[in-house]
């Protein structure tokens, strides 16, 4: 590819891959575990089933490897040509060792720069911004970005408010310099540290180290204040998306697709209404996967890849713990 080296490269997603576990946890299954039923879950979340990695050996790293290998095989890429492996996750295999070096080594990219990024459900979008900046710098040519989370490892299956929401999965994208005018156009991001108290796993970090008492109290499981999180999510997913439209002088009807974080169908619907796009333009797969945290948006890209055409305008938007949030505007490359 020939380009003016004095200008920053436009980064583009050039390939996608994904992996979800075979085991399905349906709403009917959950009804045998907690006081709930299929209609109650569907009406409040839009979820019908979710995938669960029941095999203890199939941790986040395993799923990330499967997603990466599916991408590499589909595009016939030599893994030694990968410059960077970036894993967005809140459920790393270990608390000290990052998951990305393990993934990189297992897929044959041991010479790559490899690190994890933790921004909860916004992790993939933060990672896409990071990967795009790496490409634009001219220092890297191929960044493998993976969103992966084994949420079942931090979910209390006796807590109805959380166990109905989350599932396990992973998806990967390859970010390279664009060979045309399309690619990553820009993003709008934000944060509010109040979220550290409203959506978290209370114990296990340096503030509240894990111990026997915290285990007995279930403080090693994810907890959230659902109503507050809902309001923040809708407000910031919508406002960041609208800010992108304003920045690039776009109207809602000029957007081909919106790919929202798959947290809750009610959040998705409220965000769509605030942005002002037609329902058929908003892509969802929450019914079958639930909330896979950092994997939701790349899973959408993988599931709907064949539906996209070069030049399609896509808005990606997410909100996650921390709080973190953001939206990205991309023009589809292939």
How would you classify residue 276: left for phi > 0, otherwise alpha for psi between -120 and 50, otherwise beta?
A: left
Residue of 121, 140, 264, 285 with catalytic role = 121
Angle made by CA atoms 76, 117, 46, in degrees to the nearest 5: 85
333 is an active site residue: no
**Start-end of H helices in 212-264:** 212-216, 226-247
Residue of 27, 200, 264, 291 with catalytic role = 291
Nearest to 199 by CA among 323, 88, 84: 323
Residue of 163, 261, 285, 333 with catalytic role = 261
Stretch (H or E) spanning 129: helix 123-136
Interatomic CA distance for residues 278 and 285, integer angstroms: 17
200 is an active site residue: no
With beta carbons less than 8 A apart as the criterion, state whether 115 and 99 touch.
Answer: no
Interatomic CA distance for residues 240 and 316, integer angstroms: 10
191 is an active site residue: no
Instruction: Provide the annotated active-site residues.
Output: 121, 261, 291
């Amino acid at each position: 590819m020939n380009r003016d080296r004095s200008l920053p490269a436009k980064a583009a997603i050039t390939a996608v891959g994904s992996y979800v576990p075979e085991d399905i946890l349906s709403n009917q299954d959950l009804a045998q575990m907690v006081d709930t039923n299929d209609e109650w879950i569907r009406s409040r979340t839009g979820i019908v089933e979710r995938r669960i990695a029941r095999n203890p050996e199939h941790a986040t790293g395993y799923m990330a490897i499967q997603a990466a290998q599916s991408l590499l095989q589909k595009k016939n890429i030599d893994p030694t040509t990968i410059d960077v492996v970036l894993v967005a996750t809140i459920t790393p295999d270990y608390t000290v060792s990052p998951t990305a070096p393990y993934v990189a080594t297992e897929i044959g990219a041991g010479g790559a720069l490899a690190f994890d990024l933790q921004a909860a459900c916004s992790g993939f979008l933060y990672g896409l911004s990071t990967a795009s900046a790496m490409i634009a710098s001219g220092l890297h040519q191929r960044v493998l970005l993976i969103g992966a989370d084994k949420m079942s490892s931090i979910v209390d299956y006796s807590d109805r408010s959380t166990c109905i929401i989350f599932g396990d999965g992973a998806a990967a994208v390859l970010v390279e310099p664009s060979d045309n005018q399309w690619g990553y156009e820009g993003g709008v991001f934000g944060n509010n540290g109040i979220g550290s108290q409203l959506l978290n796993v209370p114990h296990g970090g340096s503030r509240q180290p894990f111990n026997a008492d915290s285990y007995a109290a279930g403080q090693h499981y994810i907890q959230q204040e659902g109503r507050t999180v809902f309001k923040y999510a809708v407000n910031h997913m919508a406002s960041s998306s609208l800010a992108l439209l304003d920045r690039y002088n776009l109207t809602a009807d000029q957007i081909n697709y919106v790919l929202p974080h798959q947290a809750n169908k009610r959040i998705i619907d409220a965000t769509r209404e605030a942005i002002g796009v037609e329902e058929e333009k908003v892509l969802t797969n929450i019914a079958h996967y639930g909330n896979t945290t950092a994997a939701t948006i790349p899973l959408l890209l993988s599931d709907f890849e064949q539906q996209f055409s070069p030049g399609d305008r896509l808005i990606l938007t997410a909100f996650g713990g921390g709080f973190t949030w953001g939206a990205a505007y991309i023009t589809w490359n292939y």
